[in-house]
Amino acid sequence: MTVFTDVVCPFCGCLCDDLEVTVEDGHVKGVKNACGISRSKFLNHEKNRLEAPTVDGVEVPLEKAVDAAADILSTSMRPLVYGLSSTECVAIAKAVELAELAGGVVDNTSSVCHGPTILALQQVGESKTTLGEVKNRADLVIFWGSNPSQAHLRHIIRYSGMAKGRFIPNGRKDRYIVAVDIRKTGTTRLADEYVKVEPNRDFELLQALRAAVRGHELLAESVAGVPREKVTELAERMKTAKFGIVFFGLGLTQSEGRHMNIDAAVGLVAELNNHTKFLLTPMRGHYNVGGANTVTTWQTGYPYAVDFSRGYPRYNPGEYTSIDMLARGEADSALVIASDPVSTFPAGVVRNLAKIPVVTLDHKVTPTTMLSKVVIPVATAGVEAEGTAYRMDGVPLRLSKLVEPREGVHSDAEVLEMMIKRMGGRAY
Amino acid sequence: MSKLKVTLVSGRTAQQGIGLEEGKTSDNYVKSVNHVQLCPEDAAKMKLKEGDAVSVETRHGSVVVNWRPSKELEGGMVFFPYGPWANQVYGYETEGTGTPIFKGIEATVAPTKGKVKSIEELVKSLGGDRK
Amino acid sequence: MKDIIVKGGYVYDPLSGVDGERMDIHLSAGKVVEEVPERDAKVIDAKGKTVMPGGVDIHSHIAGSKINLGRLLRPEDHRKDPVPRSKHTRGGVGYSCPSTFVTGYRYAQMGYTSVMEAAMPPIGARHVHEELNDTPIIDKAAFTLFGNNYFTLKYVREGDKEKLKAFMAWLLKVTKGYAVKIVNPGGVENWKWGRNVDGLDGNVEGFDVTPRQVVTMLAEANEELGLPHTIHLHCNNLGIPGNWETTVDTMDAVAGVKPTKGRKNTVHVVHCQFNALDGDSWMTLKSGASKVAKYVNAHPHVTLDMGQVIFTDTTTMTGDGPWQFRLHGLTGNKWVNSDVEMEAGAGVVPYTFKKNNPANAIQWGIGLEIALMVKDPWRVYMTTDHPNGGPFIYYPKVLAWLMSRKARTDTMLESNKAVMKKTSLAGNYREYTFNEVAIVTRAATAKVLGFKDKGHLGVGADADVSVYDVDPSKWRPSQYAEIERAFRLASYTIKGGEVVVKDGEVTSTPLGSTYWVKAETPPELEQELVKELEADFKKYYTVSFRNYPVEDAYLPTQRVVKAQGGVWK
């Protein structure tokens, strides 16, 4: 029996790194300190696994599957490489290299989650911090359109709510927590204040707060369903906090306004820095979606939606983003790595994905593997394969290999490398 | 009352997270995402009983799912956990941003005698019959 | 790998005392050797050309979270400089925030073979090393940020220099860093509350120490540890008119520090242009270069780099959070701030240096004044603080300005008159020689960094050689465009004995090495230190102590440099 300590959890953007995993006879037997989802990940990683590589549903040796995948990608005009948020960074780098080699498009799951956050950042910037300063200093924490009680289960305990730090010796008692949402959630329940905003009207509320922070008088009786007094009170609270932070989620990026909502939030926070310290940080979902953006950016200059058809990287969200590529019927093949677009994309574009040859690298059976022409089982990163992941705040951590994958099963990076070799790529 | 006009919101749930780590074909996952949550008052308006199915419809499509009561929701708001069932009713317009809208869209909910599709049936209906 | 003879060029190897002599350089197994048999060697004809050791950039921002935030922030910057893939190279983007591959290629194309990443936040060290591993050809090292680190401030407050030394050795080891970088000491800690520190004797909140104490103790500790490079210091008050005084005060604060054996210098002041401003405001701005140069000329313990301004659109990025917020306020340009728990921070703001802007014209003049007024070229180095003053691809332009008064005059005539009135540049007739260029771009930088095998072509040196297509025996300063052309694309760049650039084109892309420094600590002291660190990590960090050190997996090509051996009490 081996007990691994300080294990990094490969589930959400929190990348909690204090897990204790017990391994016996090459199998995970127990997990300590983990949240429910993390526990499920470690204890169930052997369930519902893909049994063997398949082409058209028929089991084949790995080499045959790699050949078939390479053929599909090198003979298509507009291959789309997608996914990458639930694997480690070498695999992400290989996926970018493969897309370049194939003259295709490489995109990652941020295009359906925090893509608008990135668009706003490119317009107006962003003022952020690693989570430790929140733990050490934040006396005002605002969750806006985010619900860690369901999506980032230990965020509030480890970083933003209960966490005790240098200037927050009493943890929760030293913090005022505000939750802005369109509905009550577990997070609004534990907040000191719940601000109920009408659906699709966050932009208005953010701008009103910005005006109030500047000292303008609000004329409307209520903004986005929030009474004027509450808006000015919140603005005052923000200005007088010693250290405030907004953790925002898909409530802002996936509702009307999208990047403009984030633009307004960034503007509000920048404004507040004329009065006190204020920051904001997106609640990134998949554990290494940050890494997918980070690696793609250092290799190509751009974080997602990168097209190599001209031999150099081009970037245009709305055009080279997966949803749009598929909606236009433009992608004529797809390589999916560590993602399940059939479960995460609107049905209208999934129908188009079903029409083209899809190559999928995954460890488990998913709706996407069900409709893929080529399926290659891989090791689970962070359990059976090591590598780097970037936390939601950009902190890089090392994922561990705790157990061996089944014989003949390789990591995402290794399989991608085989495909690159088969496609005539060279070592750089 | 046949149809209820609602605002539809998608999102993550812990159950969905736990389920997907077991596997997308596992019962736990399927149960965590093949339902909508609505407030007991709205359910009463539609005379929904436990075990009934509902049809959720938007301008993009419709889907039959189970329902669960949620005391946290107010009348007129329906929560649909992220997943292949929810995706049947969302559109793919990104308006140049790359990101579709998954939150705060107009929908109707109605009782139905229809059957909730299995994950295999759902994938098949999308054209994915390559097994 | 075939042996190489670089034949018949004019060789500039100042560390070996070779000043433009025509001679052959023999390379074998990655090193410079006495002689190799000509019949088995690849012979490179360097007749009529300039031969130098590979360039060594002492201060640049090429890898890690800060430059990557710049890349992320600026698609518009990339779009003016797309770089297609070729038979030997990956595609990417260039200009002020180049992708990692393009960074490696373009440095090599200019004949540079070693580049220092000037600011590595410890908790982000893995990120820096991952990017360095994707930066081909050149050798690299990264400087670990110390000046606002919780433990630095704690040990300075406690006056415990021995513990501080042990901490420095430990942090360099676990981050795989090469030197001690200090950015706006105390200012970045105060910025965690949205404030700055008030100059060299201001208060660092929560610690009740001053930047003066921080700098002095870090400098003493650095020298007592015998680290190969001195402290690498970005002074307080950067970018604020009148700051020359802070700069000189800071230099003077470490005047009494005893240098480690074998050198006289104890501090390197970075991108000095930004810290040599005189006047009370941007309206009354004038050059403070002469005042800084006067001090430096009289005090051998100081080295500098220029931080030369280029008139172009670039991206400013520093570990100086409060300065970047100030610049955001001055320009209204988009602003990224990125605080790093317990240790550092950073900011990124796009900026355009304009010829017709009086302040920018003065800044342009100050950088050159510093390089021309500091008499000893071994103590002032050519940088643009890439990309802060301008992208590194403009280095050849800077060389032209240094080597040709006409080049400077021609630019001055196109620029705001303020540069004539508020700097002394117009009256400066000095023109760098080829030998001086070799000093400020490779020989002196390698020396001050403590790279024994770099920056020269003596037997045993690394086989890093650049050949430039300019004949120094015929060149005249009026032909400054020739310098720009020749130094932009080397005829040959040889890295580790392999030709990596030929006629300006990249022909091969080996992965260079990453250097880091190992300093020994008495074991009992290290144990005691680790116990203290571990306790504070539990309380204040969000990563576990065990997950903090960078694993060997991130250093596939590491070269460990040992510190000279410490002086311990």
Percent of chain C at pLDDT > 90 equals 99
- The answer to whether the Cβ–Cβ distance between C124 and A314 falls below 8 Å is no
Q: Give residue limits of the domains in chain C.
A: 54-413
Digit-coded pLDDT (tens) for A131-163 = 999 999 999 999 999 999 999 999 999 999 999
Report A:300-319 residues touching C (Cβ under 8 A): 300-303, 308, 310-315
Provide mean pLDDT across the span A85-100: 98
- Average pLDDT (C488-507) is 98
| Cβ-proximal residues to C468 (8 Å cutoff; 6+ apart), any chain | C49, C50, C51, C52, C111, C486, C487, C490, C491
The C-alpha atoms of residue A68 and residue A75 are separated, in whole angstroms, by 11
Which pLDDT belongs to residue A425?
82
Does residue A164 surpass a pLDDT of 80? Answer: yes
Q: Find the length of chain C.
A: 569
Neighboring chain B residues of A343 at a CB cutoff of 8 Å: 24, 82-84, 87
The domain ranges of chain B are: 4-125
The enclosing H or E element of B69 equals strand B61-69
Tokens representing residue C489 in the block:
């694309």
Which two structure tokens, joined as six digits, stand for C325?
């917020």
- Which residues in chain B have Cβ-Cβ distances shorter than 8 Å to A370? 120, 123, 128, 130-131
Residue A397 sits in the same domain as residue A381: yes
* Structural domain includes residue A16: no
How much is the average pLDDT of B22-47? 96
Contact list, A135 vs chain C (CB under 8 Å): 341, 540, 542
Q: Which of A135, A137, A276 sits opposite C542 (nearest CB)?
A: A135
Average pLDDT value for residue range C349-370: 98
A18 in any annotated domain = no
Is A137 within 8 Å of A166 (Cβ atoms)? yes
pLDDT tens for C363-373 read 999 999 999 99
* Non-local CB neighbours of C277 within 8 Å, separated by 6+ positions: C239, C240, C241, C242, C243, C244, C285, C287, C288, C363, C366
Position C116 scores a pLDDT of: 98
CA distance linking residue C476 with residue C455, whole number of Å = 25
The model's confidence at residue B131, banded by pLDDT at 50, 70 and 90, is very low
Measured between CA atoms, how close is C264 to chain A, in angstroms? 38
Instruction: List chain A residues with CB under 8 Å of C339.
Output: 128-130, 133, 279
B128 pLDDT tier (thresholds 50, 70, 90): low
How far does A357 lie from chain C, in Å, by closest CA? 27
Out of A36, A253, A254, the one facing B14 most closely (by C-beta) is A36
Which one of A106, A130, A399 would you mutate to disrupt binding with C, by most C Cβ within 10 Å of its Cβ? A130
Query: Which of A230, A258, A282 is at the close of a domain?
Result: A282
Answer yes or no: do A357 and A272 share one domain: no
Say which residues have a Cβ less than 8 Å from residue A356's Cβ, sequence separation at least 6. A331, A332, A333, A334
Q: How confident is the model at residue A427 (pLDDT cuts 50, 70, 90)?
A: low
CB-based contact A18 C131, cutoff 8 Å: no
Give the closest of A36, A184, A253 to B18, CB-based.
Answer: A36
| Structural domain boundaries, residue A57 | 50-112+287-422
HSE value, Cβ hemisphere, 13 Å, CA-based, for C141: 27
A266 and A302 share a domain?
Answer: no
Q: Which two tokens stand for residue C310?
A: 């280029």
Q: Is the pLDDT of residue A49 over 90?
A: yes
Nearest by CB to A343, from B61, B83, B104: name it: B83
Nearest to C168 by CA among C220, C129, C117, C238: C220
Query: Token pair for residue A57?
Result: 């549903």
CB contact under 8 A, A298 and C93: no
List the one residue out of C152, C190, C192 whose CA is nearest residue C171. C152
Q: Is A121 left (phi over 0), alpha (psi -120 to 50) or beta?
A: alpha
Domain over B4-125 is classified CATH 2.40.40.20: yes
Residues B89-118: pLDDT tens digits?
A: 999 999 999 999 999 999 999 999 999 999
Strand partners, A219: none
Which residues in A lie closer than 8 A to residue C348 (C-beta atoms)? Answer: 125
Instruction: Answer for the pair C391, C348: CB distance below 8 angstroms, yes or no.
Output: no
Q: Which strand (E) or helix (H) includes residue C82?
A: strand C82-83
Residue A36, domain member (yes or no): no
pLDDT band at residue C564, thresholds of 50, 70 and 90? Answer: confident
Q: Are A30 and A22 in contact (CB under 8 A)?
A: yes
- Dihedral of CA atoms A243, A9, A86, B91 in degrees, nearest 10, equals -60
Q: How confident is the model at residue A428, as a pLDDT? A: 56
Chains B and C touch (3+ CB pairs under 8 A): no
Q: What is the mean pLDDT of residues C530-548?
A: 98
Q: Which amino acid is at A262?
A: I
Nearest one of C317, C363, C311 to C336, comparing CA atoms: C317
A125 bridge partner residues: C335
What is the distance between the alpha carbons of residues A346 and A177, in angstroms, rounded to a whole number?
A: 34
Q: Which of A114, A158, A272, A299 to mutate to test the interface with C (most CBs of C within 10 A)?
A: A299
* DSSP assignments along C487-513, one per residue: HHS-SEEEETTEEEEETTEE-------
CA angle A193, A194, A197 (to 5 degrees): 140
Angle subtended by helix axes C161-175 and C211-225, to nearest 10: 70
Q: What is the pLDDT of residues C49-104, one digit of tens each?
A: 999 999 999 999 999 999 999 999 999 999 999 999 999 999 999 999 999 999 99
Contact A326 B92 (CB under 8 A): yes
Nearest CA in chain A to B79: A183
Query: Which tokens in the block code for residue C331?
Result: 């320009």
Tokens for C202?
A: 């201001």
* Cβ contact, residue pair A342, B129, below 8 Å: no
ω into residue C387 within 30 of 0, thus cis?
yes
Of the partner residues A6, A125, A126, the one whose CB lies closest to the CB of residue C546? A6
In this complex, the residue of A97, A279, A314 whose CB is nearest that of residue C339 is: A279
Q: Chain C within 8 Å of A118 (Cβ-Cβ)?
A: yes
- In this structure, what CATH number is given to the domain that contains residue A367? 3.40.50.740
Q: Do A301 and C73 touch (CB under 8 A)?
A: no
Residue A62, judged by CB atoms within 10 A of its CB (0-12, 13-18, 19+), counts as middle
Closest CA to A253 of A216, A203, A219: A203
Name the residue type at position C10.
Answer: Y
The SS3 assignment for B2 reads coil
Which pairing describes strands C335-340 and C492-495: parallel, antiparallel, or unpaired? Answer: unpaired
A294 touches chain C (CB under 8 A): yes
Mean pLDDT across chain C, nearest whole number?
97
A288: left (phi over 0), alpha (psi -120 to 50) or beta: alpha
Using alpha carbons only, how large is chain C's radius of gyration in Å? 22
Phi, psi of C44 (to 5 degrees): -105, 120
Across the interface, do C341 and A394 touch by the CB < 8 Å criterion?
Answer: no
Percent of chain B with pLDDT over 70: 96
Chain B residues touching A109 at Cβ < 8 A? none
Which amino acid, B63? V
Report residue A224's pLDDT band, with 50, 70 and 90 as the boundaries: very high
Nearest to C73 among A122, A131, A166 (CB): A122
How many beta-carbon pairs under 8 angstroms link A with C? 187
Hey, what are B124's tokens? 């098949």
What is the DSSP code string of C14-41? GGGTEEEEEEEEEEETTEEES---GGGS
Query: Does residue A278 sit in the same domain as residue A292?
Result: no
Confidence band for A259, pLDDT divided at 50, 70 and 90:
very high
Query: Does A300 sit within 8 Å of C99, measured CB to CB?
Result: yes
Alpha carbon C57 to its chain's center: 6
Cβ-contact A168, A139 below 8 angstroms = yes
Q: Using CA atoms, how far apart are residues A381 and A377, in angstroms rounded to an integer?
A: 12
* Rounded Cα–Cα distance for residues C314 and C305 (Å): 19
In contact, A364 and A48? CB cutoff 8 Å: yes
CB contact under 8 A, A323 and B122: no
> For every residue of chain A, which 3-state class applies, written as one string?
CEEEEEECCCCECCCCCCEEEEEECCEEEEEECCCHHHHHHHHCCCCCECCCCEECCEECCHHHHHHHHHHHHHHCCCEEEEECCCCCHHHHHHHHHHHHHHCCEECCHHHHCCHHHHHHHHHHEEEEECHHHHHHHCCEEEEECCCHHHHCCCHHHHHHCCCCECCECCHHHHCEEEEEECCCCHHHHHCCEEEECCCCCHHHHHHHHHHHHCCCCCCCCEECCEEHHHHHHHHHHHHHCCEEEEEECHHHHCCCCCHHHHHHHHHHHHHHCCCCEEEEEECCCECCHHHHHHHHHHHHCCCCCEECCCCCCEECCCCCCHHHHHHCCCCCEEEEECCCHHHHCCHHHHHHHCCCCEEEEECECCHHHHCCCEEEEECCECCCECEEEECCCCCEEEECCCCCCCCCCECHHHHHHHHHHHCCCCCC
Mean pLDDT value across residues C154-165: 98
Cβ C355 vs Cβ C413: under 8 Å: no
Residue A349 lies in a domain: yes
Question: Is B104–A255 a contact, with Cβ atoms under 8 angstroms apart?
Answer: yes
Domain final residue pick, A262, A282, A302: A282
- Side-by-side strand order, sheet with A19-24: A2-7, A19-24, A27-32
Number of domains composing chain A: 2
Q: Subunits with at least 3 CB pairs below 8 A relative to chain C?
A: A
Q: Would you say residue B1 has pLDDT above 60?
A: no
Contacts with C, A 131-150, CB within 8 Å: 131-133, 135-137
Residue with tokens 């960090």: C541
| CATH placement of domain C54-413 | 3.20.20
CA C103, chain centre distance (Å): 14
Show the tokens assigned to A119: 């668009």
Q: Which of A133, A270, A298 sits opposite C99 (nearest CB)?
A: A298
Neighbours of chain B (3+ CB pairs under 8 A): A
**pLDDT digits 0-9 by tens, C190-220:** 999 999 999 999 999 999 999 999 999 999 9
Q: A426 pLDDT exceeds 80?
A: no
CATH number for the domain spanning A186: value is 3.40.228.10
Say what the pLDDT of residue C568 is: 85
B24: nearest CB among A36, A348, A364: A364
Cβ C334–A124 below 8 Å, yes or no? yes
Q: To 10 degrees, what angle do helices A412-422 and A62-75 make? A: 60
Selecting from A129, A294, A388 the residue whose C-beta is nearest the C-beta of C68 gives: A294
Say whether both A275 and A327 belong to one domain.
no
Shortest Cα–Cα distance, A74 to chain C (Å):
17
What is the rounded CA–CA span in Å between residue C410 and residue C405? 9
Inter-chain contact C99–A17, Cβ cutoff 8 Å?
Answer: no
- Range C131-148 average pLDDT: 98
Nearest CA in chain B to A115: B99
Which chain C residue lies closest to A317 (C-alpha atoms)? C75
Across the interface, do A346 and B77 touch by the CB < 8 Å criterion?
no
* Model confidence band, residue A406 (pLDDT cutoffs 50, 70, 90): very high
C-alpha span between A282 and B43 (Å, rounded):
35
CA distance A366 to B25: 7
Residue holding tokens 């946290």?
B72
**CA C75 to CA C561: how far, in whole Å?**
38
